[in-house]
Amino acid sequence: MELYNGPLDTKEIFGRWLDEQAESNYGAYIPFVGTIRAEDDIEALSFDIYEPVLQKWFDEWQKKAAALGAVVKMAHSIGDVPVHTSSYVSAVFSPKRRVALELIDEFVEDFKANAPIWKYDVKNGERIYAADRSTPMNGAGLLQ
């Protein structure tokens, strides 16, 4: 798991991951890139991350992937990420395509639902929590 301040250098990350696994005999490598779209007059999105819980979440996914003979990778931005740049990339390597295609779907969806990351719109230099696009994590409401 890799965290960076500001936008991701997607080509460097994907190229490096590919090089790292060049001799691993994986038949499938499926990358996912999340790019900031220009909408609602935003200048950027901005992110807070709680790394200790994110790391545990990711460790569980590595175990789940390993049980299928696969590897999951991810990188995410902290702080401001301008429109038309990338804040999130992930990838799955697996011996054959079907496992990777299914895992990238599950992994990205669970990431959206349960990775402890908070998103803000940046407008006129101000950070506004994206409350209407955010999802309560599993177990939410315990203390109510």
- Contacting residues toward other proteins, per CB under 8 A: 34, 47-48, 50, 52-53, 56, 76, 87-88, 108, 111-120, 129-131, 133-144
> Which amino acid is present at 79?
G
If the CB atoms of residues 61 and 120 are measured against other proteins, the closer one turns out to be 120
In whole angstroms, how close is the CB of 59 to other proteins at the nearest point? 11
Q: How far is CA 130 from the centre of its chain?
A: 17
The two beta strands, 2-5 and 71-82, are parallel
CA distance 89 to 51: 16
Nearest distance, CB of residue 87 and other proteins, angstroms: 7
Q: Packing angle between helix 97-114 and helix 51-67, nearest 10 degrees?
A: 160
Beta bridge partners of 140: none
Taking the least distance from each CB to other proteins, the nearer of 26 and 88 is 88
d(CA 107, CA 69) in angstroms, rounded, equals 15
Q: Which is nearer to other proteins, 98 or 123 (CB)?
A: 123
Min separation Cβ 51 and other proteins, Å: 9
CB 36 within 8 A of CB 87: yes
Q: 26 or 90, CB closer to other proteins? A: 90
Smallest separation, CB 18 to other proteins (Å) = 22
Taking the C-alpha atoms of residue 40 and residue 11, their distance in angstroms, rounded to an integer, is 28
Q: Which residue, 25 or 133, has its beta carbon nearer to other proteins?
A: 133
- Shortest Cβ 77–other proteins spacing (Å): 10
